[in-house]
Structure 1
């Protein structure tokens, strides 16, 4: 393997930039140069020391020239590292034109990124014998994420630049007759309220155990990957591959999960439905990952590989946040924040909604309908999520309730459409169905009559 003996650099461009700053630090191009680059982009240590001194002086509105910069370096004890006054005084001679300063900044920034990429590759080679492949991939992913996050001075776009694209999208909506603009979930009222899942959105689905989070997510995947035939990736860190498959078969066939697990009481009709269900599941575009404790870096890497192979992805489902490998941080809240912000970035990168399942806090077991504060370490989840949904079944908390079979899908946050409210669903064998307003109203009246004086009602949102 051929290794570079001398790291990539362009010393002439670096000297020209420093010379321009020393010649006229108040020039518009000089001010932009200071904003567009960091000293770490410079190859020589002497150049980094000089640049930092100039930037500090410019921010303090001090006079910047060869003499004042040298004096500043003397005062800080770094003059020797800079090459001294003679070297500094020669830098203005390297300037070809102040107008070319930003061109040289762009050259230096791009070379610095290439050096970082090479350094990442060399680091991977050095650690290849000691790390597992997944750990190597995560290390490389994290380094590349750090590299790509560097600001290379891209200018902001004027808001009018987005006008034509927006008009085209608006025209598409008009031509479609008000059709759903996002990803359809197959739950009609949810799609109507949200206009589907936002195509770059992070959607949080929260609830306590046994409320039906995973089943609801599977219902949505069944529609997206089966009916709509769009690729779905399901990261299940709670179930094995056999358990995942069995759940999908139960939903597709309508055969009771308990019957399937025990194998008892299966009749000819059940076998026929199971066979039909297998055909439907096998024909769907659902891809499953069941490795435990996946990090967000591993999820990102696997999604990218899937897209590289299949060309696109329609929906990503992560079940669930609490079972993911937490990045090292000062607190759990910060770790969760890193995960949710990374998943939000992945959704934007892929142009694909991510449905993240979250376990609610034990406070939800006390009764009443869940609220945002019931999310564990909720600050970052609330901030990063475009939509927050709660799944609530009163019969889990109160077996004697009149609201048996009623599942409330509570839209607690909707960043874009103001679709907040409650959708009522009926939990059936293997899935969910629509529930009429009249049915819910009658159940609610019986519940209130039974629990006089009335407790918190279940009004339609």
Structure 2
């Protein structure tokens, strides 16, 4: 054997020994936990809020944990005798039958005190196995480098999978049993019963709108559209601040915070700077005109109100991102990061047409908008938060005699109408009537115009043109232009209903 061959032999041997690495698992911890559950069923409830059958490494242990859980939830006793009928009797575990193995688990059981510790150890090992799988996939895809998956989209995919793993303890998605879906639906109804106003969704702070929509539903894409000057940014800002200002957190069993009322809001302001947005909110809260704030044309009393308001606003969980022309991929990544670091209950995007798609710059703007709305819908489902996305309407509204927007006015923008769960239009007739003012106040038509203007002055219509969960219709609100504020009308009879 020559020198080169002699040098290679020990390296090859070391590599062969190191090549096989068993995925992290702890069979003894799984056995100890299952034994504790079989001896005292209360042990199951110590771990059931975070541990699922999929987290156990041994397939038989998964089955035992799943069957025991089903029996205990039905209010029956899970022990080696009641469980064995649901398992394959002829299956062997080494030199034992399944029935003997169950009896052995119970006889060697540890005390219930240790159950949660064993459960945590099993859960942590399951997370490590999932991390290894994601890491291996990242390496393999990076080596193979398929043409249809540029590095940027691989980073986004890895980030999405890691976020899912961090949030739920598993990233594979896939099918969910109908039992789990029913349990989630019942939980949602219970939360609505306990929440202020008994809403299934997050309250917008505008009662007449909540009455029609049941609040903002989690994972919904809510498109808020209107022509320039209608006040769609004002309405979005009002809702965002109302949600953040009424935030009440509740500590969960795992130590994390969950919104009991209100919520943490992320606001992507692609059109206005964060200072402009803050000025609007301060104006709305203090009833000091935003134009006066900008010019410094304020009294000492007004200034004291501004200072008091700003001190309160500093505690409000409203986070603003003012990046112009942000892509759907960047927006998703930042939203995931915000949810991990601060929590997230609602997202606002102002507005869709100022965003860019994830792919290469395309001449086909309709296709790009489709990519953006599809991405927003997927993000809402992934983060389980409502997303309010603002949208401009086509100019064809202006050419019609009736200026009230319709769903067809969105069609130029691809799939906005299709992807949205709710479509809201903001319409202020006051805006159009004001522009029709006769130049001469002695004109015979002037009195007629004045009567019409007084009728619509200070009001706005929010048209619910599409709603997956409820009826469409029109909600009439009060609008104070100088403070850019939408509120409920003093007279509730103004609310119109259509079914």
Q: Is TM more than 0.5 here?
A: yes
Find out whether 1:295 has 2:327 as its counterpart.
yes
Q: Per-residue displacement from partner, 1:299-354 (whole Å, max 9, x unpaired)?
A: 111111112212x2011111011111234457322211111111111111111111
Aligned to 1:345: 378
Q: Is the CA contact 1:317–1:354 (under 8 Å) kept in the aligned structure 2?
A: yes
Could you tell me the TM-score, scaled by structure 2's length?
0.58
Q: Is the CA contact 1:360–1:375 (under 8 Å) kept in the aligned structure 2?
A: yes
Q: Is the CA contact 1:408–1:424 (under 8 Å) kept in the aligned structure 2?
A: yes
Match of 2:463 among 407, 410, 415: 410
Aligned to 2:291: 258
- Displacement of 1:212 after TM fit? 0.5
Q: Is the CA contact 1:252–1:281 (under 8 Å) kept in the aligned structure 2?
A: no
Find out whether 1:249 has 2:268 as its counterpart.
no
Q: Per-residue displacement from partner, 1:200-224 (whole Å, max 9, x unpaired)?
A: 1111100011110111011111111
Distance 1:405 1:123, change over 3 A: farther
How many Å separate the matches in 2 of 1:250 and 1:153?
47
Q: SS in structure 2 opposite 1:318?
A: strand
How many Å separate the matches in 1 of 2:282 and 2:175?
50
Match of 1:318 among 323, 340, 349: 349
Distance 1:209 1:193, change over 3 A: same
How many Å separate the matches in 1 of 2:198 and 2:494?
28
Q: Is the CA contact 1:360–1:374 (under 8 Å) kept in the aligned structure 2?
A: yes
Q: Per-residue displacement from partner, 1:258-300 (whole Å, max 9, x unpaired)?
A: 1112223x11221122122212322211111111110011011
- Displacement of 1:178 after TM fit? 7.5
- Displacement of 1:175 after TM fit? 6.3
How many Å separate the matches in 2 of 1:372 and 1:303?
29
How many Å separate the matches in 1 of 2:292 and 2:213?
36
How many Å separate the matches in 2 of 1:148 and 1:278?
34
Distance 1:213 1:385, change over 3 A: same
Aligned to 1:186: 205
Aligned to 1:426: 478
Q: Per-residue displacement from partner, 1:370-400 (whole Å, max 9, x unpaired)?
A: 1101115344111111111000111222214
Distance 1:438 1:295, change over 3 A: closer
Aligned to 2:234: 215
Match of 1:268 among 300, 324, 339: 300
Question: Structure 1 stretch 284-293 or stretch 323-332: which is displaced more?
Answer: 323-332
CA RMSD, aligned part only?
3.6
1:52-451 equivalent positions in 2, closer than 5 A = 115-119=136-140, 140-141=155-156, 156-157=175-176, 159-160=178-179, 162-173=181-192, 179-228=198-247, 230-264=263-297, 266-310=298-342, 312-327=343-358, 328=360, 329=362, 331-366=364-399, 367-375=402-410, 377-399=412-434, 400=437, 401-402=452-453, 403-418=456-471, 420-428=472-480, 429-436=483-490
Could you tell me the TM-score, scaled by structure 1's length?
0.62
Distance 1:201 1:330, change over 3 A: same
Distance 1:147 1:331, change over 3 A: farther
Distance 1:244 1:174, change over 3 A: closer
- Displacement of 1:365 after TM fit? 2.1
Which consecutive residues of structure 2, in runs of 5 or more, have no partner in the other structure? 1-14, 21-130, 165-170, 249-262, 438-451
* Alignment: residue pair count: 326
Q: Per-residue displacement from partner, 1:374-429 (whole Å, max 9, x unpaired)?
A: 115344111111111000111222214521221111111111122x1111111112
Distance 1:172 1:267, change over 3 A: closer
- Displacement of 1:164 after TM fit? 3.7
How many Å separate the matches in 1 of 2:191 and 2:162?
37
Q: Is the CA contact 1:183–1:198 (under 8 Å) kept in the aligned structure 2?
A: yes
Q: Is the CA contact 1:313–1:352 (under 8 Å) kept in the aligned structure 2?
A: yes
Q: SS in structure 1 opposite 2:314?
A: helix
Aligned to 2:119: none
Q: Is the CA contact 2:226–2:426 (under 8 Å) kept in the aligned structure 1?
A: yes
- Displacement of 1:241 after TM fit? 2.3
Q: SS in structure 2 opposite 1:198?
A: coil
Aligned to 2:7: none
